[in-house]
Structure 1
Amino acid sequence: MAGEEVNQMSHLDDDEINLGDLVRRLWGGKVWIAGTTGVAALVGLFIAAGTPPTYRADALLQLEEKRGQLALPSALSDLAGSEPRSETEIEIIRSRLVLGQAVADAHLDWYAVPRKLPTVLSALAKFGFPLPDVGGLSAFARGDEKLRVDLLEVPAEWIGQSIRLVSNGATGFTVFLPNGAEVEGRVGVPLIDAGRGFALRIGELDAPEAREFDIVHLSETSAISSLRGRLSVTERGRYTGVLELGFTGENPDETERTLHAISQAYLKQNVSRSAAEAESSLAFIESQLPEAEQTLRKAEASLNQYRQAQQAIDLGFEGQSLLTQITNLESELQKLADEEDTLAERYTPNHPTYQQLLSAKSRLQERLERLRSEVGSLPQTQRVVFNLTRDLELAQAGYVELLNRAQELRVMKASTIGNVRIVDQARTAPYPIAPRSARIVALSVLLGLLSGAGLVLLRHMLRRGIQSAKDLEAMGLPVFATINYLPEAAQHRKRQGSLPIYALSKPDDVVIEGFRSLRTSLHFGLIDASTRSLAITSSAPEAGKSFVVTNLGVVAAQAGQRVCIVDADLRRGYLRRYFSVPKVHRGLSEYLAGEVDLEDIVVPGPIPGLYFIPPGQFPPNPSELLMRDRLTDLVNALDQSFDLALFDTPPVLAVTDPMIISRAVGGTILVARYDVTPLGEIEAVQRQFLNSGLRLAGSVLNGFDPRRASESSGYGYGYSYRYAYKRED
């Protein structure tokens, strides 16, 4: 259990460390993130400034109840009539029926727009930069142009194609047709080509010379789709029957005109639908009137005949009272039945309100049954007169009801009033709804921040080289020193002629302090070495091992040691350029071949205590020369004459020479270049040494750049001060 807790704590610690590294990497790449954010903000600002404004027009409609407009008696009308469903009306507004009518009424299937400036130029113009009307810029709009098309007819094959109109100034213009023809025209004068089926009349043109417009005739389907895409219809509140129509466009006047056409088209279809409904209902009622009149006449005749036959004049007071009460009760029962239908849609029969209605209905039915039983106690003559009179009154009520409904429908049909009322006419807001500059810039800044952070993390992920001394130490290689990056030395090998030794020319530089630290580390790190000789190598070229060897030798000599630098790269060695030694000077290759002695190849260095052995002539068989016993003799001789011997060897992964030299010297140090040498190459070098029965004494991290390190990890280190002896006068 204790082990599990320790593992859990270690995982938590790893997570915290990873999160901290992530934050440090992002903070280290703050310059990249700030730059990316700034660029994104500028792009967003230009997009916001270069995007044409979008305006919104709105209108308000009210859907009124249809109650009382159906051609039915009042009882049935109450049951069938209901307020219109808003969802249904919304779909009707968006239908081809309404939008197609709006397209036809307002000629929305054609449009004319000036050529727009590119986004960048439009943004510059919005920021107040004047754009001259020269060259191709004169064709683009500046915002003060006007063009009104009063008539446009095109052949079927030209539908959807652009007709370019170029202003000639004053009232003239030139039209470039899709078939390549050019036609001159004037404002107010129709251009008609009956053979092609083309007609155009410009009602107004206010634009400087060379300004261009695009005129397009859309198909009805395309025009309706365009309207539907920019139209929004919503209900204000729930079950209010109030619909809000919204329409967007770049031209405020055109937007308002289009929405007005849509609302009027919907109003017209609603009126026509109501008129058609009224006409249909009127026809039904007129067909029922003769039958109702016949029923009325028949009831009157039956009552009159019975009265004449029985010499009965009237019901008398008692009978008339019963008739009135029964009629009233039946009317009240009908109302309760209507209310029950309404309550049944909302409540169950167990609801208190529903139970109260059923109780009242039951009481009325009991009273009606009692009255009907009293009718049975009347004399036979009065009972018959009572029934006939009741039939007559029912027939009269039905006939009068039909006459009233017929009159209402005639009025409705004549007045052509639907159940839709325009509360607010279409009107465009004075300020555009888009582009929302603040939102665009804010989103651009956010996108820039995310992109910058992603770029910093991506750069770190794509880096294949060593990032810190910790990487080398994690592989089991002690790091004797970290040499900071020196810009002047980055490309020194490509220079012609002699190369500078920066330990002499810049002794107080931070980089040279790193070599002094290396010198001290080697003094304690190689105490147990068999000889005072050291091979310095790398996994691949361009790691800076020759740079390290030269400056390390100089700082060691400055400390009072006798140092000999040996250029053991018999293939491409160039250390002679640091010491101004001619290429033909005899050196290591001649010594290994037995042609010269040691004292013949040693060259004094630029400071006391420093000596140099050049590579000599590059031999065809360097590996064979190095395998001779003369190499061991050289190491022993240098160990007796010098405090430190530094061998500059070729890269390990390129040739086998470093392995041969490493067997003869006291230790081998691997130079790795920051952000250049891959970890895989270090592993390959270690594996090669292990297979040869050798080991690396340690490593040096060269070319460490604190600024780049801070970008990748958020922290770095380096000397921030100078410390030197103060000369006393």
Structure 2
Amino acid sequence: MANEGDQVQQTSNDDEIDLLDLLSRLWAGKFTIFVFIVLAGLAGIFYILNTPRTYQADGLLQLEEKSSQLALPSSLADLSGDSPRAVTEIEIIKSRLVLGRAVSRLNLAWIAEPVEAPIVGHLLATQSFSLPDWAFLSPFARQGDEIELQLLDVPAAWLGEDILLEAAGTGAFDVWLPDGRTVPGQVGDLLIDPETGFSLRVGVLVGQTGRQYRLVQLPETEAIQRVRERLTVAEQGRNSGILRLEYRSQSPELARRTLDAIAQAYLAQNAERSAAEAESSLAFIEGQIPDARQAVQEAEAALNAYRQEQQAINLGAEGEALLTQIRAVETELLELDALEEELAERYTPNHPEYQRLLGARGRAEARLAELEEEVRTLPATQREVINLTQDVELAQEVFIQLRNRAQELEVLRASTIGNVRVIDSARTAIRPVAPRTMVVLALSLILGTVLGMTWVLLRSYLRKTVDGAEDLEALGLPVFATLNKHPAAARSKNSARSLPLVAIETPDSLFVEGLRSLRTSLHFAMLDAKNKSLVLTSTAPGSGKSLISANLAAVAAEAGQRVCLMDADMRRGQQRKYFDIPRDNPGLAQVLAGETSFEDAVLQSKVDRLSVLPAGPFPPNPAELLMRPDLAALLARLDQEFDLTIIDAPPVLAVTDPVVLGRAAGAVIAVTRFAQTHPGEVQAMLKVLGTSGVKVSGAILNDFDPKKAKSRGGYGYAYNTRYSYK
């Protein structure tokens, strides 16, 4: 159980270390992340300035209740997001019937706009820039350019094709047709091409000579689809019957006008749909009126003919009385029928009111039967006159009712306004809805932060370098010293003049303390060496071996040793800069070539007990000079006259000189640079030297930065405190 607890605690500690390591790496790359944030912010600002503004118009419509024979149960209606009728009306608004009317009313199938430059076109068209008068910029839109069409009609084959219009000055322009021809025109004049039927009238044209404009007439279906994509219709709330319409456009006025046209087209079709029933009834009644008129005429003709035939002028008092009573009873029956329909909706037949009505109708029917029986007792002539008179009156009543109903339907059709009303008319917001400045800036800054962090972490994990002493020890190299970063290292790489000797100018710096530790380590490491010469080399230029060689020699001399510093880099030697030695002063190359003596080449430096053998004027064959037996003789003499010889050698992976020097010297030390030297380079150096029989005694980690080491996951030892006498 204890072991399991220790494992859990160790896992927790490892997770915490990984998190701290991640945060430290990000903190070390904070400047890189900041650069990414700034670049992303600039990109966001550019996007905002170079993106056309989009404005949104909105309006509200109310769907009034409409009677229907079929309705959903209330429980099902509550479950649906939009009411069934709202869904239906939304689809009607988006239909080609409604949108097509708006497109036709506002000529939304026309596209007329200035030609914008690539990438930065909108920026140039909306911002006032003082650009050079270059010919290739003249066609592109600038601030204030405008075109407005009054007519555009193209052949069917040219629908959707771009037509280019170029301003020619003083209201004139040239039109480049899709068939390759160019026709001239004038603002306000009708331009007609007889060959193709192309028609154009430009109402407004603002722009300098050479400015170009793009004209397109879209097919109706494509224009409707463009409008549909910019239109949004949704119900406000659940089952509210309130529809919210929104339309987006780059022009605030066009957005308002388009949404208003869509709303008016929808209201018109709704009113037409509501008046359709009245029109249908009116058409039926108007079709029945001639037949009713004909029936009246036929009934009157039959009555007149019978009277003339039978010489019956009038019915007499008794007949008139019967006829009047029959009319009254029939009228009463009609009224009772209407009353029965009303009572049937409220009561059952067993209700007392309903029973009283049935009794009254029974009595009226019985009275009518009695009157008809009395009519049968009249003479045949009077009976026939009564029947014919009833037919005439019935035909007249039907004709009058049809004519009255037709007049009512006429009024109803004229006064029909539909069951939809406008609550809020179309209005465009003052501020654009896109691009959303704050959102774009926030997203760009977040994106910059994420990209910066990703870049820092990828670079940290994928670009493997020597970040601590443990990296060198993993390659089999003992680390003699870890030297802290010093400003002189940066100056030594770029300076073409004299370089400072850090060990003399700042003897209490952490860098010099590391050299003193290195001096002590080398003293014990070279006890068994074949001679007292030490080669300092590196994998590639820029590791700081020349700086370390010069200052290590000074530190060793200050400790009482007789030291000779040999600059064996006869291609790019730097030691003369630390000791102010002229470039043409004889040196190692001349000694090996036999052109000068050892005594003339070795110079006493400004540091006691420190002599310098510079590289001398660079020879054409440095490798061949080192291959001569004179090198061994030179090292033997240096062993007799000095306690320590430090040899500043060229990089191993650059030339073969370090191999020759390493075989002759007593020890070889590899100089590596923190966060710059790659482990693969160190392995390649060890392989090159090992193949020639040269063993690398150890390594020096130079330019160590404790803060960066923590951020990169390295844990190298360095001097972080000073200890000195006050």
Q: Same-fold call, TM > 0.5? A: yes
Distance 2:141 2:117 in 1: 7
Partner of 2:491: 488
Distance 2:658 2:588 in 1: 22
**Cα offset, 1:490, TM superposition:** 1.9
Distance 2:110 2:342 in 1: 65
Amino acid at match of 1:222: E
Mean Cα displacement is larger for which, 542-551 or 58-67? 542-551
**Cα offset, 1:444, TM superposition:** 2.2
Matched, 1:530 2:505: no
Distance 1:102 1:13 in 2: 69
- Using structure 2 for the length normalisation, give the TM-score: 0.70
Amino acid at match of 1:503: L
SS at match of 1:434: coil
The within-5 A match list for 1:616-631 is none
Amino acid at match of 1:507: E
Per-residue CA distance 1:551-583 (angstroms, 9 max, x = gap): 3123311332112345678x9795886774345
Per-residue CA distance 1:264-283 (angstroms, 9 max, x = gap): 22223333333445545677
Distance 1:159 1:248 in 2: 24
**Cα offset, 1:218, TM superposition:** 1.0
Partner of 2:297: none
Partner of 1:444: 444
Per-residue CA distance 1:318-350 (angstroms, 9 max, x = gap): xxxx999998874336xxxxxxxxxxxxxxxxx
Amino acid at match of 1:581: P
Per-residue CA distance 1:565-620 (angstroms, 9 max, x = gap): 45678x97958867743455334x99xxxxx99x8899354244234668998565
Mean Cα displacement is larger for which, 148-157 or 199-208? 199-208
Mean Cα displacement is larger for which, 246-255 or 480-489? 480-489
Partner of 1:86: 86
Partner of 1:503: 501
**Cα offset, 1:224, TM superposition:** 1.4
Partner of 2:192: 192
- Going from structure 1 to structure 2, the CA distance change for 1:708 and 1:170 (only over 3 Å counts) comes to farther
The within-5 A match list for 1:28-47 is 28-47=28-47
**Cα offset, 1:153, TM superposition:** 0.9
**Cα offset, 1:384, TM superposition:** 10
Distance 2:654 2:129 in 1: 64
Distance 2:66 2:483 in 1: 91
Amino acid at match of 2:482: A
Matched, 1:332 2:346: yes
The within-5 A match list for 1:374-393 is none
Distance 1:725 1:78 in 2: 101
**Cα offset, 1:138, TM superposition:** 5.8
- Going from structure 1 to structure 2, the CA distance change for 1:553 and 1:212 (only over 3 Å counts) comes to same
Distance 1:451 1:432 in 2: 29
Amino acid at match of 1:484: K
Distance 2:126 2:540 in 1: 56
Question: Does the aligned pair in 2 maintain the 1:113–1:214 contact within 8 Å?
Answer: yes
**Cα offset, 1:25, TM superposition:** 2.5
- Going from structure 1 to structure 2, the CA distance change for 1:692 and 1:84 (only over 3 Å counts) comes to closer
Partner of 1:110: 110
- How many residues were matched structurally? 632
Partner of 2:148: 148
Question: Does the aligned pair in 1 maintain the 2:233–2:243 contact within 8 Å?
Answer: yes
Question: Does the aligned pair in 2 maintain the 1:117–1:141 contact within 8 Å?
Answer: yes
- Going from structure 1 to structure 2, the CA distance change for 1:62 and 1:722 (only over 3 Å counts) comes to same
Per-residue CA distance 1:181-204 (angstroms, 9 max, x = gap): 333333332111122111112234
The within-5 A match list for 1:650-669 is 667-669=667-669
Mean Cα displacement is larger for which, 201-210 or 687-696? 687-696
Question: Does the aligned pair in 2 maintain the 1:501–1:551 contact within 8 Å?
Answer: no
Matched, 1:424 2:424: yes
Matched, 1:679 2:679: yes
Per-residue CA distance 1:197-236 (angstroms, 9 max, x = gap): 1111223445565554322111112211211111111111
Partner of 1:71: none
Amino acid at match of 2:418: G
Distance 1:172 1:195 in 2: 22
Amino acid at match of 1:586: V
Name structure 1 gaps, 5 residues minimum.
69-75, 291-307, 309-313, 316-321, 334-363, 390-398, 591-595
**Cα offset, 1:52, TM superposition:** 2.6
Per-residue CA distance 1:52-100 (angstroms, 9 max, x = gap): 32221222222223328xxxxxxx69999x9861112112221223222
Partner of 2:591: 586
Distance 1:325 1:121 in 2: 78
Per-residue CA distance 1:391-440 (angstroms, 9 max, x = gap): xxxxxxxx9xx999998766544445333223333232333222322322
Matched, 1:545 2:545: yes
Per-residue CA distance 1:612-647 (angstroms, 9 max, x = gap): 668998565978979x9x69x967x76665433335
SS at match of 2:48: helix
Name structure 2 gaps, 5 residues minimum.
78-82, 292-321, 323-327, 330-335, 371-397
SS at match of 1:40: helix
**Cα offset, 1:678, TM superposition:** 1.2
- Going from structure 1 to structure 2, the CA distance change for 1:203 and 1:509 (only over 3 Å counts) comes to farther
Question: Does the aligned pair in 1 maintain the 2:56–2:433 contact within 8 Å?
Answer: yes
Partner of 1:301: none
Question: Does the aligned pair in 1 maintain the 2:171–2:187 contact within 8 Å?
Answer: yes
Distance 2:473 2:689 in 1: 17
Partner of 1:10: 10
**Cα offset, 1:176, TM superposition:** 3.1
Distance 1:584 1:27 in 2: 49
Amino acid at match of 1:482: L
**Cα offset, 1:178, TM superposition:** 3.0
SS at match of 2:524: coil
Distance 2:8 2:428 in 1: 64
- Going from structure 1 to structure 2, the CA distance change for 1:177 and 1:411 (only over 3 Å counts) comes to same
Distance 1:524 1:717 in 2: 15
Mean Cα displacement is larger for which, 253-262 or 219-228? 253-262
Question: Does the aligned pair in 2 maintain the 1:601–1:614 contact within 8 Å?
Answer: no
**Cα offset, 1:2, TM superposition:** 2.7
Question: Does the aligned pair in 2 maintain the 1:329–1:368 contact within 8 Å?
Answer: no
- Using structure 1 for the length normalisation, give the TM-score: 0.69
Question: Does the aligned pair in 2 maintain the 1:60–1:422 contact within 8 Å?
Answer: yes
Mean Cα displacement is larger for which, 574-583 or 51-60? 574-583
- Going from structure 1 to structure 2, the CA distance change for 1:548 and 1:16 (only over 3 Å counts) comes to same
Question: Does the aligned pair in 2 maintain the 1:536–1:545 contact within 8 Å?
Answer: no
- Going from structure 1 to structure 2, the CA distance change for 1:468 and 1:716 (only over 3 Å counts) comes to closer
Pick the aligned partner of 1:521 from 514, 518, 521. 518
Amino acid at match of 1:548: I
- Going from structure 1 to structure 2, the CA distance change for 1:63 and 1:84 (only over 3 Å counts) comes to farther
Question: Does the aligned pair in 1 maintain the 2:124–2:141 contact within 8 Å?
Answer: no
Distance 1:140 1:568 in 2: 65
- Going from structure 1 to structure 2, the CA distance change for 1:64 and 1:411 (only over 3 Å counts) comes to farther
- Going from structure 1 to structure 2, the CA distance change for 1:455 and 1:586 (only over 3 Å counts) comes to same
Distance 1:325 1:259 in 2: 50
The within-5 A match list for 1:125-140 is 129=128, 131=130, 134-135=133-134, 139-140=139-140
- Going from structure 1 to structure 2, the CA distance change for 1:501 and 1:147 (only over 3 Å counts) comes to closer
- Going from structure 1 to structure 2, the CA distance change for 1:439 and 1:504 (only over 3 Å counts) comes to closer
- Going from structure 1 to structure 2, the CA distance change for 1:693 and 1:534 (only over 3 Å counts) comes to same
Partner of 1:354: none
Partner of 2:479: 478
Q: Between the two proteins, what is the percent identity of the paired residues?
A: 40
Amino acid at match of 1:508: T
Amino acid at match of 1:540: T
Partner of 1:252: 252
Distance 2:160 2:409 in 1: 46
SS at match of 2:223: helix
- Going from structure 1 to structure 2, the CA distance change for 1:145 and 1:646 (only over 3 Å counts) comes to closer
- Going from structure 1 to structure 2, the CA distance change for 1:673 and 1:247 (only over 3 Å counts) comes to same
